[in-house]
Amino acid sequence: MTVVITKERPDTPDAIQLIEGLESDLAPFYPSESRHGYSVEKLIKQNVTFFITRKDGVPAGCGGVQFFGKEYGEVKRMYVRPEFRGFGLAKLMLEELSKYTKENGIYKLRLETGIHQKDAIALYRGWGF
């Protein structure tokens, strides 16, 4: 298994496909007025640094970080496609986002997630969020 995480624009075809997958996964749990995730356009406008995880060359997940001055970074649009879950890819993405944030002189990382995303909540709690 080869896993590669690369920094990419959120408007690439792979990124768009992953963000659409995230939205599709969230739709059954949250009405549209309760979903506040950034659109591709807003990711760009807000200068979110975006990463894509590929497993054996296939886009498997994504995540980004938005900096709020030097105070903190916030995780945005974190997602792993269902068929790629269980391989530790979300942990690898969190490591990458944390590393990137620290490399930019920021040592606090925040995030928001929904109450119905039990696996995500467990992952984030394990990381101290």
pTM over 0.85: yes
Q: What is the DSSP letter of 32?
A: G
What is the number of domains present in the chain?
Answer: 1
pLDDT digits (tens, 9 = 90+) for 69-113: 999 999 999 999 999 999 999 999 999 999 999 999 999 999 988
Q: Nearest-CA neighbor of 72 among 39, 37, 102, 112?
A: 102
Phi and psi torsions of 118, nearest 5°: -60, -45
**Residue 13 is part of which domain span?**
3-126
- In this structure, the number of other CB atoms found within 10 A of the CB of residue 87 comes to 16
The answer to whether residue 47 scores a pLDDT higher than 90 is yes
Residue 44, classed as helix, strand or coil, is: helix
Check which CATH number belongs to the domain holding 56 and give it: 3.40.630.30
Residue 53, classed as helix, strand or coil, is: strand
pLDDT digits (tens, 9 = 90+) for 13-35: 999 999 999 999 988 888 888 78
